[in-house]
Structure 1
Amino acid sequence: MSRHPTALIADDEPLLREALASQLAVAWPELDVVAQARNGREAVEKFDALEPDVCFLDVHMPGMSGVEAARHIGSRAHLVFVTAYDHYAVQAFAEGVLDYLVKPVEAARLTATVARLQERMRLAQPALDTQALLHKLAMQLQQGGSTTPSLRWIRAQVGQTLRLIAVDEIDYLRSDSRYTRVAWQGDASKAGEALVRTALKDLVAQLDPQQFVQVHRSVVVNLRAVSHVTRGDNETASVHLKQRSEVLPVSRQYLHLFRQM
């Protein structure tokens, strides 16, 4: 009787690790997830100890990235990268060598990935030697901001629920002590607000500057959500939103954005 295939999942977000494990339990019931890791270094340690057949590695993790961990693992396991950014899939993974999943992981995409892995294992094909491509991808990641794409969605934990908020649905973001308050629209039943632990300045750096503008030291607004702007005096203005009653302040520093009024 052949043993069940085994896997390791590495992601710095525990709820996302658990979510992928649950999805794999449906898409690949025979797969045993023998380890979960919080970062690349932990992934390497657990891989060396357990030698799983498949590794699902988040690209961006604190410290050692998923790509660096993959370079250590090499061809000793089948590798699947998990990324929040289509950008990386287009630039590196879509070359047809590396398997990848884009967050939030869609069932259909996961099913297709599992089918490819199962076929390779059924045919006893060795894991691919991807060192050259991994080196190229690692170099891209080390270049930092020049290759960092705009954020596509924001993770917000509400109690035990992880909510994935599409960036396009966000009306505005507002600094709230050490947190950021995210107000989104979606449809009427899903409109709401949530606090995220990322500071506003760190989120702003990842948002598309053509769509999101800072109007106050503590407020960033989605231009698509703006109904109109009213001038108070020569020093201030107020932003009115299409589907919200809140009125957001525009400070003197950012008033030039609305000079054309």
Structure 2
Amino acid sequence: MSTVAAATAVIAEDEPVLSRNLRRLLEQVWPELRICGVAEDGLQATELALAHTPDVMFLDIKMPGRTGIEVAEAVADEWPETKAEPLFVFVTAYDEFAVPAFERAAIDYVLKPATPERLLQTVERLKRRLNERAASPHVGDMAALMQRVQAIAEPADDAMERIKVIRAGVGNTVRMIPVTDVAFFEATEKYVNVVTPLGEALVRMSLRELMARIDSTDFIQVHRSVMVNTNFILSATREENGLYSLRIRGVDRLVKVSRAFGHLFRPM
């Protein structure tokens, strides 16, 4: 199967031997593919992706700087609106992530170390999807793509206790904050910042895990690291760069909306 045009790709793998092996095998099973760059960590992978906007990204799951999942989130968050979304292929191992999670997300995976036979299957799938996209050009839904990627990292557990009140630390005090009083959640490096009109507090939980357990349907994602309570959104202003900023009731600072979620605030 051949694609209508030569495809481009970025490889992200922090192990040089595995990186060279993957590139060598790709040259064998997909000689038309043009490798735009090879990244040794997650931050470099994000930079290469946004600089070259490749058709395909081969992402190692565990990398310094950012994991493959985090790279995919960042890329989806900042991807140009005029360019069709990249096809992600995660390089993983059996004991790291459940294979069905990748299948549910319609994202492919390759087990380490890659073999010619398995990689050929992946390449054929990628070519088929690229051909379908070329035959019917459209710009994909990057917000939906990001949410599929996020679902791989921490699939929701319906058996977990639902959270109605946030227990957040403020110095030596624990504030009890009803979920309905939260204006937005904002992920930082190690914590989630819980922002309300009365102030801010921190919880030691990932944003993904927290949102999977929140007992509310009022929150929407506006950035890979921000979930906003729709009841607190007063207005959305389009800036000169095309991005939106949200004015939140009772909160002095604006909330930035990434490109992936800008469509949520366009006029009806």
TM-score by length of 2: 0.48
TM-score of the two chains, using structure 1 as the length reference: 0.49
Tell me which structure has the larger Cα radius of gyration. Answer: 1
